[in-house]
Amino acid sequence: MNPVTRLKLSSFLFTVLWTGGMLWWSGAFEPASIIIWSIGGALAGYLWYRAMRWQFQLMGMLPRNEQMR
């Protein structure tokens, strides 16, 4: 499996776990709360993906953007 694919899958898992954890922690299961936490979870997952990709590229664990094309 490609390292970038594993990073994408792990960021998706982070998104699901973070969103579920925030919903459970808040205890509010109204539709508005679910939508807000889902948007926040998607944003957190995307930012986590970008941060980890940048960090792994600096460490040499992932190819740079120019090498991936």
Q: What is the pLDDT of residues 2-56, one digit of tens each?
A: 888 999 999 999 999 999 999 999 988 899 999 999 999 999 999 999 999 999 9
What residue spans define the domains of the chain? 7-62
Q: Indicate the pTM of the whole model.
A: 0.79
pLDDT in the model for residue 40: 95
Write out the two tokens for 66. 């120019």
Question: To 10 degrees, what angle do helices 31-59 and 3-26 make?
Answer: 150
Q: Is the dihedral of CA 17, 18, 19, 22 positive or negative?
A: positive
Cα→Cα distances 14→37, 54, 62, Å: 13, 17, 19
Q: Give the separation between CA 67 and CA 20, rounded to whole angstroms.
A: 36
